[in-house]
Amino acid sequence: MIFEQSKPLTGEVTVPGDKSISHRGIMLGAIAKGTTSITNFLKGADCLSTIACFRKMGIEIEEKGKEILVHGKGLHGLQAPDGILDAGNSGTTTRLISGILAGQNFSCELTGDASIQKRPMKRIITPLSLMGANIESIRGNDCAPLRIHGTSLKGIHYDSPVASAQVKSCILFAGMYADQKTSVTEPYLSRNHSELMLGSFGADIHTEGNTSVISPEPLLYGQEVAVPGDISSAAYFIAAALLIPSSELLIRNVGINPTRDGILRVCHKMGASIELLNKRIQCGEPVADLLVKHSPLKGTVIEGAIIPTLIDELPVIAVMAACAEGKTIIRDAQELKVKESNRLEILVHHLTAMGCDVTGTEDGMIIRGGRPLKGAVLESHLDHRIAMSFAVAGLVAEGETEILNADCVNISYPDFYRDLLQR
């Protein structure tokens, strides 16, 4: 894909459904009793991997008009899959499904693409093993492929060393199959979509501070899940509208859950004009329309508790910081090294290639913003968020920016280029 400096972004855009909530709708729908109807489901490759895994375990999932219908079979209704479960590129599928698989009465193998086979799974193997699960990394490298022999589980308390919603959700899902309550404490609060959705499906789950506690053997019942637009997808439009002079863009129906809204808080600190209109609650999740106007931005410091609330947005925030006046410091973001790619390394490389003054650090980077970006040829490394972030950079840079292997955006936003270039 080739990008050039863009005219202002005006009018409206509606981004696709939230990836995290779409995954969880399928998973909880599958182990609930009765039918779950999901609207605005994200039909990106990651969520389709989750559907494929549950279909392989005997769950009927159909598309009916605008709905996805999941015909759940209850907590103990999954069947042994015939063949290996394939999570594709999806860390959420791999880690969350492992929590469910650990408590089944069958064994199976779970794997994914080359990127998934390099991502750390020890973070779920350790707590699941403490619960009595029988889970191993087949190659002994703490990565997928994983072999999981379902068994009876013990409820535990786990102090997670990482603020990761995938780790937390994996443990809470396994906790439904345990013999007593299971609790997880994380260093900072990560996204809480699992907790909210578990509650609405009927689980006994409570959160206090950074600790969530779930009771075993809940009676889950199918629900209607209306998925809000994904703030992680909205992030590219927020950034483009802020950066391109004279832009004024309305982004409709965006999830603004406080465990996900760090990008809005950082943008405000950088001097952005973003108005939250028509705030409402939809299926327990806060939602709003965002009116974003071009704004001169200034550098900021991003660290600590806010990091998990904007972890997937850091690549595009780094692009904004490159265009802002002054210094931006990003700290405590070492998790970026173990995403779909090593995002810290790639961000520093690509921003440098575009003429930005940036220094990588152990857990983040220092960006001295304000130099005009220059077009460059950039590899996506098959990472959707790298491709989309640098597409935005390409709309503000001088000259031409070429993104190689650009079609990886189908992971979370198949129509991204159409929506971005139609503005």
Stretch that binds ligand S3P, among 55-63, 64-72, 165-173, 264-272 (CB under 6 A): 165-173
Q: Please, which residues bridge with residue 67 across strands?
A: 39, 64
Helices 262-269, 314-323: axis angle to 10 degrees equals 10
* Distance of closest approach, residue 167 Cβ to ligand S3P, in angstroms: 6
User: Which residue has tokens 């390394």?
Assistant: 345
129-132's contacts with Cβ under 8 Å and 24+ in sequence apart are: 130/154, 130/156, 130/158, 131/102, 131/155, 131/156, 131/171, 131/174, 131/175, 131/178, 131/182
Site for ligand S3P in 278-337 (CB under 6 A): 311-312, 335
Interacting positions 8-37 with ligand S3P (CB under 6 A):
20
User: Which candidate, 202, 229, 203, 330, places its Cα nearest to that of 289?
Assistant: 229
State the minimum distance, in angstroms, from the CB of residue 83 to ligand S3P: 25
Report residue 19: phi and psi, to 5°: -65, -50
166 interacts with ligand S3P by CB under 6 A: yes
**Contacts of ligand S3P in 351-380 (CB under 6 A):** none
Query: In 87-244, which ranges are continuous DSSP H helix?
Result: 91-101, 122-130, 165-175, 193-201, 231-243
Q: Based on CB atoms, which residue is closest to ligand S3P, 91 or 255?
A: 91
Question: Minimum distance between the CB of residue 368 and ligand S3P, rounded to whole angstroms?
Answer: 27
The nearest distance, CB 142 to ligand S3P, in angstroms, is 15
Q: In whole angstroms, give the CA distance from residue 332 to residue 317.
A: 15
Pairwise CA distance, residues 257 & 52, whole Å: 28
Size of the site for ligand S3P (CB under 6 A): 12
Residue 82 CA, distance from chain mean position: 29
Task: Name the segment binding ligand S3P (CB under 6 A); options: 164-172, 220-228, 260-268, 373-381.
Answer: 164-172
Closest CB 170 distance from ligand S3P, rounded Å: 9
Q: By CB under 6 A, what part of segment 182-201 binds ligand S3P?
A: 190-191
- Site for ligand S3P (CB under 6 A): which residue of 9, 51, 148, 165? 165
Q: Which of 312, 332, 363, 419 is catalytic?
A: 312
| Complex with ligand S3P: residue 104 or 190, whichever CB lies closer | 190
Q: Report H helices in 303-380.
A: 314-323, 343-353
Question: Of these, 36, 37, 89, 92, which contacts ligand S3P (CB under 6 A)?
Answer: 92
Which among 7-15, 162-170, 177-185, 403-411 is the span making contact with ligand S3P, rule CB under 6 A? 162-170
What backbone torsions phi and psi does residue 203 show, to the nearest 5 degrees?
-75, 155
Please identify, using beta-carbon distances, which residue of 97 and 324 lies nearer to ligand S3P: 97
| Residue with smaller CB distance to ligand S3P, 19 or 423 | 19
Edge-to-edge strands, sheet with 301-302 = 301-302, 326-330, 364-369, 357-361
Q: Which is nearer to ligand S3P, 20 or 212 (CB)?
A: 20
Which amino acid is located at 72 in the chain? Answer: G
* Residue 407 bears catalytic tag: no
Kindly list the distances between the CA atom of residue 3 and the CA atoms of 318, 374, 400, in Å, as whole numbers in the listed order. 18, 11, 6
Q: C-beta of 191: minimal distance to ligand S3P in Å?
A: 6
Stretch in the footprint of ligand S3P (CB under 6 A) among 125-133, 159-167, 216-224, 267-275: 159-167
- For residue 253 the two structure tokens come to 């129906």
Q: Which is nearer to ligand S3P, 35 or 210 (CB)?
A: 210
Burial label, 77 (beta-carbon count in 10 A; 0-12, 13-18, 19+): middle
Residue placing its CB nearer to ligand S3P in the complex, 91 or 145: 91
Return phi, psi of residue 97, to 5°: -65, -30
Q: Cβ of residue 190: shortest distance to ligand S3P, in angstroms?
A: 6
Interface with ligand S3P (CB under 6 A), residue from 164, 182, 247, 309: 164
Q: Which residues are catalytic?
A: 312
Please report, as ranges, the residues that interact with ligand S3P according to CB under 6 A.
20, 91-92, 164-166, 169, 190-191, 311-312, 335
